[in-house]
Amino acid sequence: MIAAEKVLELQNLYPHISLEAAIPCYTQMARWSKEQRTRYFDILELCDKKTRVGKEYTPDCMRKRNEYMVDSSDIVMAVWDGKPGGTHQTVQYALEKKKAIVFINANDLSVVYRF
């Protein structure tokens, strides 16, 4: 959601960029707090496009969503704390695909570019 909010900010300066929500499954937000769901739905309303990658939760639906995001992007924006996990796997996939990446440190929101 941080990356989506950053893209929405950037649209004020660069109106040609777009934001697509890649939704892994219908129940993605089922266990989120009310505040997280509100933030999520507020972002969805502002997206230029919404794509649901799968219907049901499966063990690999998040990976499929992440690969879809990388494959569909010109530039990948990753909010990451540097630890192993889904974001790390997505960054590795983006590097394999030779995508430009904007890293946002999840701890202090500092930005590093890799092109």
How does pLDDT run across 27-67, given as a tens digit for each residue?
A: 999 999 999 999 999 999 999 999 999 999 999 999 999 99
Q: Alpha-carbon distance 70 to 73, whole Å? A: 5
CATH of the domain at 55: 3.40.50.450
Number of domains in the chain: 1
Provide the residue type at 113 as one letter: Y
* Residue 113 binned pLDDT confidence (cut-offs 50, 70, 90): confident
106 lies in which domain range? 2-114
CA distances from 99 to 3, 42, 74 (A): 16, 28, 7
Give pLDDT tens digits for 81-91.
999 999 999 99
Name, in order, each residue with C-beta under 8 angstroms of 91's C-beta and a sequence gap of 6 or more: 76, 78, 80, 101, 103
Answer whether residue 115 shows pLDDT above 80. Answer: no
Answer whether residue 92 shows pLDDT above 80. Answer: yes
Do residues 46 and 7 touch, judged by C-beta distance below 8 A?
no
